[in-house]
Structure 1
Amino acid sequence: MRTIRVIPTVYTPARDLEWCAAAMAFAFGLVLALPGNTFSTGAHWLRFAAIMPEGGWAFMMVSLALVRMAALTINGRWRRTPLLRAICAVLGAAVWGYVALLMYAPFAGGIQTGVGVYTVAALADIWSAYRSGRDIPVAARVHAWMRDNPPAPLPRGFVP
């Protein structure tokens, strides 16, 4: 008789929005890290350059994306991952909101489409932060249950 060992986690496949936000931040940073001077391609980038150089923006965005991807990969296997996911989502919302604000450059001849796109990204991260926050007490309960009810040892000679 084969026995299957089940370890309950908080993992659910409903993290698509968070993965998308992490991929978007990674792509944003990667584009800025590529050779060339992206900040010279439009007047709206002048506001970005006044805050920090392209390399700084690239490092910040890629770092945020990698931490977020790590939290999503570990999700549920460490009880603090919902908190880490929520923190990353709040940071993401702040960054995307700030990017949308910086893209708003009426002196450059009109509003850039980035204003709308990055505002939607900020709102999506606010929603993700809310959902991650709801997972925090669930993770605490699951991990308390696991502590009190450890999984049975695998039978001798078990081959998965």
Structure 2
Amino acid sequence: MIVAHIRDNFTAAFFPRWAEWSAAFVLLGIGMMLSVNTNLMVSSVANGYGKGYEFLLEIAGQSVWATTLTVFGSFRLAILLINGAWRRSPIARAVMAFLSCFFWTQLVLSFQPTFGFAFVMACGWLLTDIVNIMRAARDARTVNDVLARGKGSGLD
């Protein structure tokens, strides 16, 4: 059922939710980049160029950030891929966007002292996911309203 839903509805579901897909891919990409570039954070701090990474390293090591972001980004993409195949998917999308705000906030706080490109981009992704929370919550309400009136399965 889920595979058939993905095959039949991917294009229709992708474009209205492109910002959610983008945010999920960026989190996955950051995790993968940290996995490949294994000493980015520590060497940048040691060389005096990584002021933005100091806060992140106080929370956890680079390998923890890499693994967490890769797993979280992959899980968020999976939720988006099967979106609509079960009733609670808009709620799951809203929860994932909300949880993503934790990572964006950590990046904003980490790069705030540098006030450079990374800070501005993290702020942009944080704002994007705040909007994604509201849009997914609206979709959840629509599904619940349709089901409450008995006018369908709410899976469309």
Residue 120 of structure 2, aligned match among 91, 100, 116? 116
Aligned residues: 136
> Which residue matches 1:80?
88
After superposing on structure 2, the runs of 4+ consecutive aligned residues of structure 1 that deviate more than 6 Å are none
Q: Is the 8 A contact 2:93 2:136 kept in 1?
A: yes
Q: Counterpart of 1:90?
A: 98
User: If the length of structure 1 is used for normalisation, what is the TM-score?
Assistant: 0.76
Deviation at 1:137, TM superposition (A): 2.2
Q: Which residue of 1 aligns with 2:17?
A: 15
Between Structure 1 and Structure 2, whose CA radius of gyration is higher?
1
Are 2:51 and 2:111, in contact at CA under 8 Å, matched by a contact in 1?
no
Q: Pick 1 or 2: higher relative contact order, CA cutoff 8 A, min separation 6.
A: 1
2:58 maps to a residue whose letter is A
- Superimposed CA distance per residue, residues 54-113 of structure 1 (whole angstroms, 9 cap, x where no aligned partner): 1111112112211211111111111111001001111112210221111122xxxx4232
Going by fraction, where is helix more abundant, 1 or 2?
A: 2
For structure 1, list consecutive stretches of 5 or more residues without a partner in the other structure: 1-8, 148-160
Distance across 2 between alignment mates of 1:60 and 1:68: 12
Instruction: Give the corresponding residue for 2:141.
Output: 137
Q: 2:111 is matched with which residue?
A: 103
Give the structure 1 partner of residue 3 of structure 2. none
Deviation at 1:44, TM superposition (A): 1.9
Instruction: Tell me if 1:56 matches 2:64.
Output: yes
Deviates more, 1:124-133 or 1:47-56: 47-56
Unaligned 5+ residue runs, structure 2? Answer: 1-8, 45-49
1:120 Cα deviation (Å)? 0.6
